[in-house]
Amino acid sequence: MIARLKERGRSLNTMMTLGMLLFTGILLTFMGAALVPFISNLLSENAIERTRETVSQSVNVVDQYVDSTVSTLQFATSLIPADPDKEIAWHSQIDLLARANSDIAALAFFDGNGDCLYSTAGQPSVNGTAIQSREWFTSALKQEGTLTYFSMPYVQDIFRNQHGYVLTLSRAVNYLEGGDRKAGVMLMDITYSSFAALTDRVKLGDSGYTDLINENGEMVSHPKLQLIYSGQASEDISAVLSQIVGLTRDKQAGRERVLVIDVINQTRWRMVGVAYIDEILQSKTAFIRIMSLVLLSAALISLGVTTLMAYWVTQPITHLEHKMRKVEAGDLNVTITARGFSEIRLVATAFNHMLTRIRELMEQIVHEQEAKRLYELNALQAQINPHFLYNTLDSIIWMEERGRSREAITMVSALAKLFRISISKGESVIYVSEEIEHVRNYVIIQQMRFQDRFECDIQAEPETLGERTVKLVLQPLVENALNHAIDEADGSPIHIKVRAFLTEDELRLLVEDDGIGIPEDTLKGILTRPSGRGGIGLRNVHERIQLTFGKQYGLTIESKDGQGTRVTIRMPREKGEKA
Amino acid sequence: MKRPLIICLVCLAASLLVMFFGFHGTPETAAAPSRTVALLTQADTGSFLLQLRNGAQAAADETGNKLTLVTVNVMSDPAAQIAALQEDGIAAVLLYAESDELISRVLSACTDTGLPVTLLDRQASGFVSASSDEKLAGALAVRQAKALGCETFVFLAGDGVASERLSGAADEMGVGPAEPATWYGWKDSGAVVPAEIRKNLDDGAGVIALTGDAVRAAVNLLSDGTLRAGCVIIGVDSGADCVPLLENGQVNAMVLPAPYPMGYLGFQEAENQLAGKRAGVVTAEPKLITPENLYSAEVVKIAFPLIQ
């Protein structure tokens, strides 16, 4: 299983798929690693900057509102005449001012003793020292009309049968009473709800909000003020108190927050914009999520396309491999369809040509082997030629009958050796020494039969004896020489020479006679037809040599009519193991 | 060819699914649908109801759910009304009523229909509720009386939640529930303070009226001389309409329930029931109101619930 997996892992398809996946993975990772942090940081910075801008705008709005109310109060104070007791036209002016501004709950002017000279909310239920002890009264007098006092939100109780939830602004006003310069206080109550609406409207994300804190850290406004007072909610302002203006972060109830702090100029209250990091970064989170989805999808698409492409590229090779395995298993009739890239098609076409050539060569070899066997068989059959055998056996019997046992033994021995070498255990190629021995035994037999009719001189150079030769090549030539020479001779003995020698790269066996020679027209086709009269033929020898060693080897016959014949056998020098 | 093609198609399909479910499953699109909770009440006006409603609305706004005000009355068929509410898509009910009978019938109808219900300003055994911490109310009253120098205490008590307040007061005093001097007879017209109670009414005694009516009765006793001028009167749950008594100095302090957090908590408990979470009895801290903090922002919505 593991070996199979390892083998699979080494396949081109797997390597291509993994390679392309690796490349895609690196590319996508780089994109993710490089782009995502950059863009997501950009998004979060933009989101925080937007939060800061929103708070800044809200501060501007509140600043403008406060400036406006302060201006209104200043205007109201400007309406107070020098002697407010005597000149009462300012009453209607104050009334008009209050009616014109719906945020104003009450406008009232108190003299230095705390007595109300006029109020748009009706006569106060308290005056005198009860008013003089109020913080808005004392603070206004302390500032001597240079600054406006701003109270925290509270319930106004000084007006009869009225309770308003207000913020009180007050400012000292100088006036004349009985010719004496006095300081009184103009009070202006603005409804808290109209003031709180300025900050309640501001939305910083789903959960974000703004609140106002005074210099002492007391909450002026907060969307959850009631819950804070009842203990159901809390607001950690420690981070705010440690910083006057700017950006800071803290954590409340497990959620990280960004606090944008700015100051309302007139009141020195701090406006705090609270935005939750997880909401601010929603766009960042959404972006990361989207990018992750896109990258994941890209990775999946890449995997699918890579798999398909790798298959498309490697399938022709796999097909090629599959067919080659069939050839390896012995099926040479396989044909590979050339498909895929041009290089693969080229390989497939070449492989097909190679297979065709192999098939042709194999047929040729089979054909040649068959021919060789056929020729050998013919040669062997010729060896067992009944005439030669009869004649030889007759000679042996005749010798024996005449008491010439020694000669009979010699002939029998020569015959046995002749047939043993002829068979040579079925081998087609034997040593030159064996071939010489073979022809020598033949000559012995024939010399006993045809006494004095011929002489045969057999000489082989020592270095030729170890060379390899096709068997049964000399004897047929000697037989041929004997047959033709003896038949046509006029009684004088024939001289036959058998030689074996080496040239630079050939083994040459020579059979030469001084017989009648071969007529020219006979010589022409002598290697293409079987010779007549009992021999296996020069053609047989020639064909066997060529089948064994190639067309460039074989017999060369030189002969002139009446002048003898020389037959040269040419074979390559080939020492070594027997065929 | 089959296998690689199948792998390719599977990968393409998977990428499409990733994109589809990824974009359609984003948190902003997968937010839970908003639900509507009904605030059932006998009368749709009243300062206490107004703050209850505001508190419940604040809780609803936090979670994106809705609150609607529905009036029910004992004369009509509360069960039918409950069934009709359920058909209209109401997911849960907050119940604020003074009539015991109405409360009982509504609770029974909700139980029958399986509609989650949360009692406001009341407790009932086996039901989720958001109410004032009555024991703490009694304890705060005693604490304030002690802060004002009282050494002896007389309680003008009543039934129901007043018993809880008395128990809290006794715990603050460090005595058993039966030990505080308690007078129940103040309700009777022309009632005379019993001797065993009177002996506790020296100058500087703390008279703790544990109901709204008891506060008025105590003020009357003070004005008719039954209570000495040096007595300290502290009212518990006297209602915002008794605030003028505090303003006028007829009452030295008041302990009032906080309807805004009560409504807030009640809505949260209703949401807990809808979410299958644990929901039970929750209490909101009552507020001690004194002349010093009467006009402060901290108690404005309790002492002056109608103020804008």
pLDDT digits (tens, 9 = 90+) for A113-153: 999 999 999 888 888 888 999 999 999 999 887 888 889 99
Distance from CA of B191 to the nearest CA of A (A): 33
The CA distances from residue B230 to B177, B186, B255, B294, in Å, are 26, 20, 20, 21
- Chain B residue whose CA is closest to A318: B1
Yes or no: say if A135 and A158 are a contact pair by the CB < 8 Å rule. Answer: no
Relative to beta strand B281-284, strand A246-252 is unpaired
Q: Please write the tens of the pLDDT for every residue from A352-411.
A: 899 899 889 988 888 888 887 777 776 666 655 677 888 889 989 998 999 989 989 999
Yes or no: say if A119 and A106 are a contact pair by the CB < 8 Å rule. Answer: yes
CB contact under 8 A, A301 and B15: yes
Distance from CA of B262 to the nearest CA of A (A): 9
* Residue among A469, A472, A476 at smallest CA distance from A531: A476
User: What domains sit in chain A, N to C, each tagged with a CATH number?
Assistant: 80-195 (3.30.450.20), 365-572 (3.30.565.10)
Residue B7 placed within a domain: no
State both tokens at A495: 């001289």
CB contact under 8 A, A230 and B294: no
Half-sphere exposure of A265 (CA within 13 A, CB side): 10
Chain B residues touching A224 at Cβ < 8 A: 58
Q: Considering CB atoms only, which of A154, A298, A311 is closest to B297?
A: A154
CA–CA separation, A195 and B88 (whole Å) = 38
Using the predicted structure, report yes or no on whether residue B1 has a pLDDT greater than 80.
Answer: no
How many A-B residue pairs are in contact by the CB < 8 A criterion?
Answer: 111
Q: What confidence score (pLDDT) does residue A136 get? A: 93
Distance from CA of B27 to the nearest CA of A (A): 9
Full 3-state SS string of B196-257: HHHCCCCCCCEEEECCHHHHHHHHHHHHCCCCCCCCEEEEECCCHHHHHHHHCCCCCEEEEC
Distance from CA of B106 to the nearest CA of A (A): 28
Yes or no: say if A545 and A553 are a contact pair by the CB < 8 Å rule. Answer: yes
Using the predicted structure, report yes or no on whether residue A578 has a pLDDT greater than 80.
Answer: no
Are B64 and B160 contained in the same domain? no
Are B164 and B231 contained in the same domain? yes
Are B156 and B170 contained in the same domain? yes
Residue B170 placed within a domain: yes
Q: What confidence score (pLDDT) does residue A577 get? A: 46
Residue B109 placed within a domain: yes
Helices (H) and strands (E) in chain A, counts: 17, 18
Residue B19 placed within a domain: no
CB-CB neighbours of A81 under 10 Å: 15
Is the minimum CB–CB distance between A232 and chain B shorter than 8 Å?
yes
CATH number of the domain encompassing residue B140: 3.40.50.2300
CA–CA separation, B49 and B69 (whole Å) = 10
Using the predicted structure, report yes or no on whether residue B113 has a pLDDT greater than 80.
Answer: yes
Q: What confidence score (pLDDT) does residue A496 get? A: 92
Distance from CA of A54 to the nearest CA of B (A): 21
Chain B residues touching A232 at Cβ < 8 A: 261, 264-265, 284
Q: What confidence score (pLDDT) does residue A533 get? A: 43
Q: Which residue has the higher pLDDT, A201 or B131?
A: B131
Yes or no: say if A460 and A436 are a contact pair by the CB < 8 Å rule. Answer: yes
Domain with B81, as residue range(s), is: 36-121+258-277
Residue B91 placed within a domain: yes
Express the helix, strand and coil content of chain B in percent, nearest 5 each: 45, 20, 35
Percent of chain B exceeding pLDDT 90 equals 40
- Chain A residue whose CA is closest to B282: A232
- Chain B residue whose CA is closest to A192: B308
> Of A207-211, B32-36, B55-59, B232-236, where does mean pLDDT reach its minimum?
B32-36
Distance from CA of A166 to the nearest CA of B (A): 9
Q: What confidence score (pLDDT) does residue A575 get? A: 62
Max mean pLDDT range (A39-48, A193-202, A251-260): A251-260
Average pLDDT of chain B is 87
Per DSSP, the three-state class of A54 is helix
Q: Count of domains in chain B? A: 2
pTM: 0.65
CB contact under 8 A, B58 and A224: yes
The β-bridge partners of A499 are A459, A510
Average pLDDT of chain A is 85
* Residue A170: Cβ-neighbour burial (10 angstroms; 0-12, 13-18, 19+): buried
Are B230 and B138 contained in the same domain? yes
**Dihedral angle computed from the Cα positions of residues A475, A479, A481 and A485, in that order, rounded to the nearest 10 degrees:** 160
Q: Considering CB atoms only, which of A165, A286, A300 is closest to B26?
A: A286
Per-residue confidence band for A553, with pLDDT thresholds at 50, 70 and 90:
very high
Q: What confidence score (pLDDT) does residue A120 get? A: 93
User: What residues of B are in the A interface, CB distance below 8 Å?
Assistant: 1, 3-5, 7-12, 14-16, 18-19, 22-23, 26, 28, 54-55, 58, 247, 258, 260-261, 264-265, 284-285, 287, 294-301, 303-304, 307-308
Q: Which residue has the higher pLDDT, B7 or A439?
A: A439
Residue B180 placed within a domain: yes
CA–CA separation, A555 and A546 (whole Å) = 9
Are B84 and B148 contained in the same domain? no
Are B174 and B244 contained in the same domain? yes
Chain B residues touching A193 at Cβ < 8 A: 308
b vs e for B95-104, b when ≥16 Cβ sit within 10 Å of the residue's Cβ?
bbbeeeebbe
Are B248 and B262 contained in the same domain? no
Residue B303 placed within a domain: no
Percent of chain A exceeding pLDDT 70 equals 95
State both tokens at A148: 């406006």
Chain A residues touching B19 at Cβ < 8 A: 293-294, 297
Are B252 and B263 contained in the same domain? no
CA–CA separation, B175 and B142 (whole Å) = 12
Q: Which residue has the higher pLDDT, B306 or B139?
A: B139
Q: Which residue has the higher pLDDT, A537 or B132?
A: B132
The CA distances from residue B51 to B256, B290, B306, in Å, are 13, 20, 8
Are B104 and B154 contained in the same domain? no
Percent of chain A exceeding pLDDT 90 equals 26
CA–CA separation, A5 and A7 (whole Å) = 5
- Chain A residue whose CA is closest to B244: A161
What letter would DSSP give residue A426?
Answer: G
Are B213 and B268 contained in the same domain? no
Q: Is the dihedral of CA A457, A460, A465, A470 positive or negative?
A: negative
Q: Considering CB atoms only, which of A152, A155, A300 is closest to B11?
A: A300
Residue B14 placed within a domain: no
Distance from CA of A111 to the nearest CA of B (A): 24
Task: Say which residues have a Cβ less than 8 Å from residue A235's Cβ, sequence separation at least 6.
Answer: A211, A219, A222, A224, A228, A252
* Residue B163: Cβ-neighbour burial (10 angstroms; 0-12, 13-18, 19+): middle
Q: What confidence score (pLDDT) does residue A579 get? A: 40
Per-residue confidence band for A535, with pLDDT thresholds at 50, 70 and 90:
very low
Relative to beta strand B206-209, strand B232-236 is parallel
> Of A300-309, A370-379, A510-519, where does mean pLDDT reach its minimum?
A370-379
Distance from CA of A311 to the nearest CA of B (A): 7
Is the minimum CB–CB distance between A24 and chain B shorter than 8 Å?
no
CB contact under 8 A, B296 and A155: yes
- Chain B residue whose CA is closest to A279: B28
State both tokens at A112: 């230095």
Q: What is the mean pLDDT of residues A321-334?
A: 87
Using the predicted structure, report yes or no on whether residue B38 has a pLDDT greater than 90.
Answer: yes
Using the predicted structure, report yes or no on whether residue A457 has a pLDDT greater than 90.
Answer: yes
CA–CA separation, B98 and A47 (whole Å) = 50
Are B230 and B169 contained in the same domain? yes
Chain B residues touching A152 at Cβ < 8 A: 297
Q: Considering CB atoms only, which of B19, B247, B287 is closest to A297?
A: B19
> Of A6-20, A422-436, B212-226, where does mean pLDDT reach its minimum?
A6-20
Are B240 and B198 contained in the same domain? yes
Q: What confidence score (pLDDT) does residue A534 get? A: 37
Q: Considering CB atoms only, which of B11, B303, B307 is closest to A303?
A: B11
CA–CA separation, B308 and B304 (whole Å) = 9
CB contact under 8 A, B8 and A224: no
